[in-house]
């Protein structure tokens, strides 16, 4: 079965076949999808782990959870779906006695549901309030950051999390034109600051990425959760991470390489070089073009998973 072509129109899973192979999905296995999104990867995992497979699905976004629940309805007896941030991974697994596991997946990109103008300002292609919170209960929005930080701090956020070389100039223009309330307003200001659009990538891309990462504390949460994930894997269990920009990939690479080296190594690298989408997949799903997949396998017996 071609998993790429089987994706639902509203959400296309990235690197679906490669993900199932990297996880080494087996019938009766127990798996965790830490970034459930639209449920594309979860559906493939449940299909390939049947009969007897179980899946724990986690997502901070309540709208994504609704979509995933609908998509996975046929597997309702084999799934536990939890609307929380994956930073709480170990606590969630303890609550549902879901450990040790055969595989854990992180797909760190935004889902199509979030990018296709859901009113939270993740994309500058749609005019929306500057929100960018994955969970509406989070206290800080993108508008809070844009309109309250000093010029120096704002430039630091844009440079650190967006790797934007023109961060100082962008921050200067933003501060001059505050308050800024919508995505279109911010995108236009960034265009002005950078001298307009040149090439294929919109000049506001890195600024929007930086704000989203800052609002949701994505890098800090990723670092903390990778450690939890390894603790939850059984012997031979697989950790698979799909990242979409260099900051995420650097964290994953450093973590897996560290865990796979020395006498106390707990992991073995499955792919020493990153796995990337084929040209066919990129044509079918252009959002996959920056995806990088890394995988590793647990090579030591785990300690008690519920020990804090």
- 105 with 247, same domain? yes
Residue 60 lies in a domain: yes
**Listed residues 189, 216, 243: the one ending a domain:** 216
Strand partners, 182: 129
Q: What is the pTM of this model?
A: 0.90
Is 198 within a domain? yes
The answer to whether residues 136 and 103 belong to one domain is no
pLDDT score at 90: 97
Q: Give the model's confidence band at 115: pLDDT under 50 very low, under 70 low, under 90 confident, else very high.
A: low
171 and 48 within one domain: no
The domain of 244 spans 16-113+218-298
In this structure, the answer to whether residues 232 and 205 fall within a common structural domain is: no
Task: Dump pLDDT digits (tens) for 257-284.
Answer: 999 999 999 999 999 899 999 999 999 9
- Identify whether residues 212 and 240 lie together within a single domain: no
Let me know if residue 1 belongs to a domain.
Answer: no
pLDDT at 306 over 70: no
Residue-wise pLDDT for 164-197, tens only, equals 999 999 999 999 999 999 999 999 999 999 987 7
CATH number at residue 211: 1.10.150.170
The per-residue pLDDT of the chain, averaged, comes to 91
Residue 153 included in any domain: yes
Residues 212 and 124 in one domain: yes
Shared domain check, 87 and 139: no
Residue-level pLDDT at 126: 85
Mean pLDDT in residue range 115-142: 85
Put residue 119 in one of left, alpha, beta given phi > 0 → left and psi -120 to 50 → alpha: left
Out of 168, 200, 216, a domain closes at 216
Of 216, 242, 271, the residue that ends a domain is 216
Residue 209 shares a structural domain with residue 247: no
Total structural domains within the chain: 2
Predicted confidence (pLDDT) at residue 308 exceeds the cutoff of 70: no
More confident residue, 103 or 124: 103
CATH number at residue 38: 3.40.50.150
Assess whether 47 and 177 both reside in one domain. no
Clarify whether residues 42 and 68 are in a common domain: yes
Whether 159 and 212 share a structural domain: yes
């Amino acid at each position: 079965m071609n998993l790429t072509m089987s994706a639902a129109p509203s959400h296309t899973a990235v690197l679906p076949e490669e993900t199932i192979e990297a996880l080494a999905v087996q019938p009766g296995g127990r798996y965790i999808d830490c970034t459930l999104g639209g449920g594309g990867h979860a559906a493939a995992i449940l299909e390939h782990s049947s009969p007897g497979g179980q899946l724990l699905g986690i997502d901070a976004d309540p709208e994504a959870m609704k979509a995933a629940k609908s998509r996975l309805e046929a597997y309702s007896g084999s799934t536990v779906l939890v609307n929380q941030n994956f930073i709480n991974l170990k606590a969630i697994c303890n609550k549902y006695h879901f450990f040790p596991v055969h595989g854990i997946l992180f797909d760190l990109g935004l889902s199509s549901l979030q990018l296709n103008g859901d009113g939270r300002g993740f994309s500058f292609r749609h005019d929306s309030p500057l929100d960018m919170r994955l969970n509406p209960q989070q206290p800080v929005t993108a508008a809070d950051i844009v309109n309250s930080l000093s010029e120096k701090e704002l430039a630091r956020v844009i440079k650190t999390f967006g790797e934007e070389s023109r961060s100082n100039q962008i921050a200067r223009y933003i501060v001059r034109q505050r308050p800024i309330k919508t995505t279109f307003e911010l995108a236009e200001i960034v265009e002005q600051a950078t001298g307009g659009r040149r090439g294929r990538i919109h000049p506001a891309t890195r600024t929007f990425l930086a704000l989203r990462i800052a609002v949701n504390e994505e890098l800090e949460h990723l670092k903390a959760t990778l450690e939890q994930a390894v603790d939850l894997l059984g012997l031979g269990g697989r950790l698979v991470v799909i990242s979409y920009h260099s900051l995420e990939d650097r964290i994953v690479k450093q973590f897996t390489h560290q865990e796979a080296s020395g006498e106390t190594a707990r992991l073995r690298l499955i792919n020493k070089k990153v796995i990337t989408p084929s040209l066919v997949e990129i044509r079918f799903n252009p959002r996959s073009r920056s995806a990088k997949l890394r995988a590793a396998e647990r090579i030591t017996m785990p300690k008690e998973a519920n020990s804090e």
